[in-house]
Amino acid sequence: MKKVTLWTRQDIRSLDEIKTKGVFRVKRKYIEEQYEDIANHYIPLYEWFVAEASKRVPKPEGVEFPIWCSISEENMLRPIENTVVYVLEVDESEVIYFDGMKWDYVLNHLYIPKDEEDLKEYQRDLERKGFKDSFSFVEGKYAKLYPEEKKRVMDSWTRIFEIDDWNIFRVQANIWEIRKDMIKDILYYEG
């Protein structure tokens, strides 16, 4: 089985979980702690991601959310205070690759076009229907008024898993858990 190297920055307390349980998994409370007041924006989008990603790589029982990883050392998040970076060796079959730039569309509740022509057609269609933008369909004043437009936007989001430009700045990876046997190295903050 092909192995890939991934890097992920996590709260330093994750070391205790790995030591005591042999595995680290992201829990909802961790996201709430990290994002505080805006956690309610992220959590439904992460839940959407979980549902879609688990169709590609089955989610183990008990996992709540994925672990965001970098595919390159050059582009990884460096350790900061109260964090560590795990250098992982993972079976490629356990990795969910996606386009991080397209993920930004999801975070902003935007339609992800197939290509330039699809984008132009989508914009023309919105204009014909009298809409000024598309981000109000998912959450906001139009969310309940136009369920078909909301569905159209959200259906486009699966395109995050279609990687058109494979490079270290666009491609990100997710895994469901960090097990002891995956850890090649741990990088600590050296303030």
> What is the band of 79 on the pLDDT scale with cuts at 50, 70, 90?
very high
At residue 107, the pLDDT reads 95
Nearest to 90 by CA among 186, 188, 181: 181
pLDDT at 168 over 80: yes
At residue 121, the pLDDT reads 97
pLDDT at 49 over 90: yes
**Residue 128, CA distances (Å) to 17, 86, 91, 125, 178 in order:** 54, 50, 48, 5, 48
At residue 132, the pLDDT reads 80
At residue 138, the pLDDT reads 87
At residue 131, the pLDDT reads 86
Mean pLDDT over 116-123 rounds to 96
At residue 6, the pLDDT reads 98
Quote the CA–CA distance of 143 and 140 in Å, as a whole number. Answer: 5
pLDDT at 65 over 90: yes
pLDDT at 110 over 90: yes
Mean pLDDT over 48-70 rounds to 97
Quote the CA–CA distance of 2 and 49 in Å, as a whole number. Answer: 25
pLDDT at 18 over 80: yes
